[in-house]
Amino acid sequence: MRRKTLGMKIFTVFNYAFLTLLAISCLLPMLNQLAISFSSSSAVAAGEVGLLPVDFTLDSYKYMADKPEFWKSLSVSLGRILLAVPISMIVCVLAAFPLSRLDHEFPARKYYIWVFVVPMLIGGGLIPTYMVVRNTGLIDSIWSLVLPNAVNVFNTILLMNFFRSLPKELEEAAYVDGATNFRVLRMIILPVSKPVLATVTLFVIVNHWNSWFDGLIYLNSPMKYPLQTYLQTQVVSTNLMALETLRDVRQIGLISDRTGKAAQIFLAAVPVLMIYPFLQKYFTTGIVMGSVKG
């Protein structure tokens, strides 16, 4: 076993300290929002709420329960995830598998690689993208949130590199037995690719769950907004109210509304926090093996 030098020990300690501070800096805003959601409006108005609730109350969650817009947007986001994950996974896998073939198996591979890489480096821009979505009749429908992001180039390359790292002997034995390419993909490649599939699935879920801008530009009706778009509009409206008024009565209502927004923001993060522990064991393996140069 290799013995660690003093420099390596110092570097390890520095890394642990840095990552710990980074984790704490990411966790503190969430704890603050959680504390606000359980605190009274007067405590929030007085700026007394830090990381622990002050004058513990569930009023903000009662406020949230009476907001049909919140539950409607939550259902839209869940529907978006249920549609986006299988579509994106199927499309990315079917694109990554042929791109993972050797040059003599797929001579045109290097040309198709550029078809994927160039759009990743040079985007078409917001206006052309909007025109494509509009001209295909997707405006004001949930498909405008799903189909434009179905093919993620980064996820495709991650899958491609993982497939290329698998031993060729597995495939060759199946081909000798007369298996087709689709059968090899379904019976050989996918069962041993659980780490990268779980990683890409997590990426797709987080990307669609946190996306808010596409809902703002593609959907005309606020009742069709996904959860993050709804929360973004609520935060903006709260900030505008704060700028428009200095009267105490309205400020009290604004602070009360703020505790409700904190409850909604915290609950919006819960689904991803619940999913991540189940996929975490595959996450590191998928990233490391999928990042090998293809």
Name all domains of the chain by residue range, CATH numbers in brackets: 60-167+193-290 (1.10.3720.10)
CA distance 160 to 70: 39
Which residues contact residue 177 at a Cβ distance below 8 angstroms, ignoring those fewer than 6 apart?
none
pLDDT of residue 253: 44
Residue 244 has pLDDT above 50, yes or no: no
Question: What number is the average pLDDT over the span 166-174?
Answer: 80
Q: Is the pTM of this model over 0.85?
A: no
Which of 14-28, 102-116, 237-251 has the least mean pLDDT?
237-251
Which residues contact residue 157 at a Cβ distance below 8 angstroms, ignoring those fewer than 6 apart?
96, 116, 117, 294
The pLDDT-based confidence of 17 (bands split at 50, 70, 90) is very high
Q: Look-up: residue for tokens 């959680």?
A: 34
Q: Is 59 exposed, middle or buried (0-12, 13-18, 19+ CB in 10 A)?
A: middle
CA distance 210 to 97: 28
Quick one: tokens of 6? 């003093």
Identify the DSSP state of 2: P
CB 150 within 8 Å of CB 87 = yes
End-to-end Cα separation, the chain, in angstroms:
31
Query: Which range is most confident: 5-9, 80-84, 257-261, 289-293?
Result: 80-84
pLDDT of residue 282: 63
CA contacts within 13 A on the Cβ side of 63 = 21
| pLDDT, tens only, 172-184 | 878 887 878 888 8
Radius of gyration of the chain measured on its C-alpha atoms: 24
Question: In whole angstroms, how far apart are CA 278 and each of 80, 271, 286?
Answer: 21, 12, 14
